Amino acid sequence: MKKLLFAIAFICTLTIQAQDNSEFKTQTIEFIQLTGTADAFNNAISQIGAMVPADKKEAYTKEANGTLDDLYSKLADVYMKEFTEEDINELVVFYKTDLGKKLASKQTQLVQSGMAIGQTWGMELSQIAGKYAN
């Protein structure tokens, strides 16, 4: 009887943790979407879909959009390893502010500009290293 009660208590605990984890994941996905990532994914779907003929575009878009839930879920798992539920809640609050919305709208542009600067810097470092390689 004790084993049965222990098993029931254990199952109840797992169920509660799964529900908490589900809420955490939902909040994390909301955060990811608020950061402007959703726009980036939609742009990627459009850009990659540019090669799809017009008569198949609707089917492509539907199937491509169908991959987003799994993608968001996997990204949420990554964020959930690095941030606590409280962290994610605070980030969601921030990204709902005017400043957070502005940051989200500029994120893609900032990343692209940063990558260009990083590439230029990397070439500069390669030249410096080349000077000392001989």
Least trusted range by pLDDT, from 2-11, 14-23, 83-92: 2-11
State the distance between the two ends of the chain, measured CA to CA, in whole angstroms.
78
Residue 91 is predicted with a pLDDT of 97
**Lookup: tokens for 2:** 């004790």
**Lookup: tokens for 69:** 């839930």
Query: HEC profile for the chain?
Result: CHHHHHHHHHHHHHHHHHHHHHHHHHHHHHHHHHHHHHHHHHHHHHHHHCCCCHHHHHHHHHHHHCCHHHHHHHHHHHHHHHCCHHHHHHHHHHHCCHHHHHHHHHHHHHHHHHHHHHHHHHHHHHHHHHHHHC
- Report the distance separating Cα 84 and Cα 92, nearest Å: 12
The average pLDDT across 35-54 equals 92
**Lookup: tokens for 18:** 């799964």
Identify the band that residue 72 occupies on the pLDDT scale cut at 50, 70 and 90.
very high
The domain spans of the chain are 9-96, 106-134
Identify the band that residue 17 occupies on the pLDDT scale cut at 50, 70 and 90.
very low
